[in-house]
Amino acid sequence: MPKLLFPTSYVSKSMRSQQGSAVEFNLSLLILFVIFLFPMINLVCISIACAGSFLVAMQAAQAASTRPTYARALNAAAGEAANLNSNGLMKMVKMTQTGGFNNTGIDLYVHASNLNSAGNIQVFGPNTPVSAAVDPSLWVYEYVAKSTYTVDPFVSFATVPLLKDIPGLGKPFVLSFTAARSAEYPLGLMGDGANIAYSGGSSPLTLKMSGLEIPGDLTDTTNSPWNRPRIYQDIKAAGQTIKREEVLIVNAKNDNWTDSQIDIAPGEKVWIDYRADGIWSVEVGIPQANSDADGLAGSESNPQNTSGFPYGSMVGKIGSSNNFFLGKSMYQVLPPGTGRLFLANNDGLGPGFSDVNYGDNQGLMTVRIIITN
């Protein structure tokens, strides 16, 4: 039987077709890989930029919250932002601060929230002191830091038709984050020498706000606005080490416990300090009902008082422990147990009972809590 002969050209074309398909497949994979790789790199850089922008806002708000005057708070916030702006990672992801105080990308605001009217918030700023009368018995004051950055694409697709107009791929975009912290020195928000009015019934105070500059650093223990200006020296003298600290505001109208966000571990001690200007009332309009954290002297013996503590006094509990007194003299407390620390104003049946007696209360206490071991 004669051999079947196939044309050489036919075999060659078939083989070339198979070989060409394999080569094109590898090339296609490479192209797809490149197309997806660089946008993913940009996406990772965008995530880093978001985290960096929020970190700047958070650190700036924290730095401002511990300063005794608005001017120092503004400088501290800007200084914190300037330090972070020089970080190599932020430069690597092509972040550039946009505007802000001294071109740091940070603007500092003050938000005042009315204690008696939910949603009533006054906004002051940016980068200017509070223009209204400061009343810590009626308003809760927070520093709000806003960071603004322009971020360029790490790998630019400005020349790619379909991608050139997409922010983060083909053109820059703007990131903005805000962070808030309670103002530890609300009396310093208006500037030195400002008169402060209290709705709780006390006379106006003249602002002379030297004292605690940052936690642990005392510049003037004589004029400090805290009850115990030497508390950090006392902690050091006691051979204790600071583990955690927090500053929070306890509202007299809150008939439930205020969560300190601090968990007490075995062997730890609690140190308490109050703003010296703190005042609240267990009955608005009656000056005799105004008190500090010690409460109304002698009211613990009132037959209707079943709590065992003075009305208007600060009380605490740890976890499910019994309530305990946290007046001004109780600056060092050996915890009765372990767990979450809660604070409250003592009135009526006490916190946690949805007591109607809290409805006519007014004012607040600014409390510094320091945990040591």
Q: What is the pLDDT of residue 187?
A: 78
What pLDDT digit, counting tens, does each position of 22-45 carry? 556 666 766 666 667 777 888 888
In this structure, of 6-10, 150-154, 292-296, 333-337, the range with the lowest mean pLDDT score is: 6-10
Alpha carbons within 13 A on the beta-carbon side of 128: 7
**Which tokens go with 223?**
């004029």
Mean pLDDT for 187-203 is 50
Q: How many other β-carbons are positioned within 10 Å of the β-carbon of residue 333?
A: 18
Boundaries of every domain in the chain = 25-188, 212-372
Q: What is the pLDDT of residue 34?
A: 63
Does residue 153 register a pLDDT over 50?
Answer: yes
229-236 contacts, C-beta under 8 A, 24 or more apart: 231/271, 231/273, 231/331, 231/368, 231/370, 234/271, 234/331, 234/332, 235/271, 235/370, 235/372
CATH topology of domain 212-372: Jelly Rolls (2.60.120)
Q: Taking each helix axis from N to C terminus, what angle separates 8-65 and 70-85, rounded to the nearest 10 degrees?
A: 160
Alpha carbons within 13 A on the beta-carbon side of 40: 6
Does residue 64 register a pLDDT over 90?
Answer: yes
Does residue 224 register a pLDDT over 80?
Answer: no
Q: Mean pLDDT for the chain? A: 81
DSSP code, position 224: -
Distance spanning both ends of the chain, measured CA to CA: 102
Q: What is the pLDDT of residue 229?
A: 85
More confident residue, 220 or 91: 91
Place 311 in a pLDDT band, splitting at 50, 70 and 90.
Answer: very high
28 alpha-carbon distance from chain centroid: 50
**Separation CA 57–CA 126 (nearest Å):** 14
In this structure, of 25-39, 44-58, 96-110, 298-312, the range with the lowest mean pLDDT score is: 25-39
- Residue bearing tokens 């196939």: 6
What pLDDT digit, counting tens, does each position of 250-279 carry? 888 888 998 888 999 999 999 999 987 678
Q: What is the pLDDT of residue 205?
A: 32
The whole-model pTM stands at 0.51
Give how far Cα 351 sits from Cα of 252, 312, 317, 341, Å: 10, 11, 10, 14
**Which tokens go with 132?**
């209204």
- Residue bearing tokens 């520093």: 143
DSSP, collapsed to helix, strand or coil, labels residue 315 as strand
The pairing of beta strand 362-372 with beta strand 279-281: antiparallel
What pLDDT digit, counting tens, does each position of 279-289 carry? 888 887 788 88
DSSP code, position 285: T
Backbone angles phi, psi at 216, to 5 degrees: 90, -5
Which residue, 342, 324, 322, is CA-closest to 332? Answer: 324
- List b or e across 17-42, with b for residues whose CB sees 16 or more CB atoms inside 10 angstroms: eeeeeeeeeeeeeeeeeeeeebbeeb
What pLDDT digit, counting tens, does each position of 86-96 carry? 888 888 888 99
Q: What is the pLDDT of residue 80?
A: 92
Q: What is the pLDDT of residue 330?
A: 84
DSSP E strands, the chain: 95-97, 106-114, 121-124, 139-151, 173-182, 195-196, 205-206, 212-214, 217-218, 242-251, 258-264, 269-274, 279-281, 290-291, 314-318, 324-325, 332-333, 339-345, 362-372
Does residue 291 register a pLDDT over 80?
Answer: yes
Backbone angles phi, psi at 289, to 5 degrees: -90, 0
- List b or e across 295-332, with b for residues whose CB sees 16 or more CB atoms inside 10 angstroms: bbeebbeeeebebebbbbbbbbbbeebebebbbbebbb
Place 200 in a pLDDT band, splitting at 50, 70 and 90.
Answer: very low
**Separation CA 213–CA 209 (nearest Å):** 10
